[in-house]
Amino acid sequence: MKRRNFLQTLGAGTLGMCLSDELIASEVIDKDKDKNKNKKKVKAIEGSWFEFQHHSAAEGKYWNPGLLSFTAREWEEKIKEIAGTGMKYLVLLDVAIYDKSFYPSKLLPKHTLNCEDPLETVLAAADKYDISFFVSNGFFGDWTNPVLLMKDPEINKLRLRAMNEVAGKYAHHKSFYGWYYPNETGIEGYYEDFFINYVNVSSAEAEKLTPGKKTLIAPYGTRNVKADDLYTKQLDQLNVDFVAYQDEIGVEKTKVEESAAFYENLQRVHKKSGRSELWADVEVFRFEGKVYQSALLPAPPERVIKQLEAVTPFVEKILIYQYTGLINKPGTNVIAGHPDSLKLYKQLVKHHYLEG
């Protein structure tokens, strides 16, 4: 039977019912489209800072003992766990602290950990699980005085010697993606000249030792940036591939509802310069007591999700500070950190910022 004849046979009432059903279905589809339009696009967390020991004993209260006891097998298991979240980048905070190294070095005595060479162990594991590491070129000297670390000639020499040593030992790893320069000075409108010099000297050495490797910095003072022509000119001068600005929510310098505007301004000047990519360094912690004087705890998941939503429209990639100690997969055999780290993992997976 032809369609025209079929409709004639139905009669007016039945036809009306059919058309009514079609209209209702059409309205439901339209409403679903509107809902999807209003959903915020989710930019997944692509990386995290990583460490063998937290530089502040007070802040690392809940995970330093655990990390200290990790065997080589457990470090590999932790890298596997992180790779399972879908993250592709890890940023090693430091290769030395308190005048001791985290790898066998001829320049400094070595920290006593339950793993002989944790740097070799995690890079080998990252080779296996397809993680890219930014390897630190610090901290040499007193990390609490970053200006001194960037200005002192002897410390600068030691840093470059250490870069040579680290590159000689570890740059053959596929996972050795690039370098991270951990000495940061707060931005007060603009970068200080000595900071630009520190970055550019480090990058010149990095290019000499490991041609083509990428470079990363993560400045603070994000809310203070003067997003104007002078700042754009400074970005032109900075020889670095990625700038992951700290959102400073965890250290209570910025409120969640303010941060989007700061990153929108940064997006504008980074586009104008075109030299370095704009990334975010999202702080997924809170302090147990006073800021900088107490233990770091996982932040409430609802706050973290708002932080991620705030920066998503403006940055190329989102990194967090940090998975190590603040996030743990439920059921993991290599836990280091507060029990709330399991809750944060679950919520980030639920909202698709991490893979489960």
Cα separation of 238 and 287, whole Å?
Answer: 33
Predicted pLDDT of residue 40: 56
Output the CA–CA distances (angstroms, integers) from residue 74 to 66, 329, 333, 336, in the order listed. 10, 14, 8, 11
The helix or strand, by DSSP H or E, that contains position 349, with its residue range, turns out to be helix 340-350
Q: What is the pLDDT of residue 29?
A: 43
Contact 290, 340 (CB under 8 A): no
Determine the pLDDT at residue 42. 80
Interval 117-128: pLDDT, tens: 999 999 999 999
> Model confidence over 51-98: pLDDT tens digits?
999 999 999 999 999 999 999 999 999 999 999 999 999 999 999 999
Does an H or E element contain 96, and which?
strand 96-97
CB atoms within 10 A of CB 354: 23
Q: Say if CB 231 and CB 272 are below 8 A apart.
A: no
Coil, strand, or helix at residue 279? strand
pLDDT value at position 32? 45
Residues of the chain with pLDDT under 50: 1-39
Q: What CATH code would you report for 45-350?
A: 3.20.20.80
Domain extents in the chain: 3-34, 45-350
Q: What are 25's two structure tokens?
A: 């279905």
Number of other residues whose CB lies within 10 A of the CB of residue 336: 22
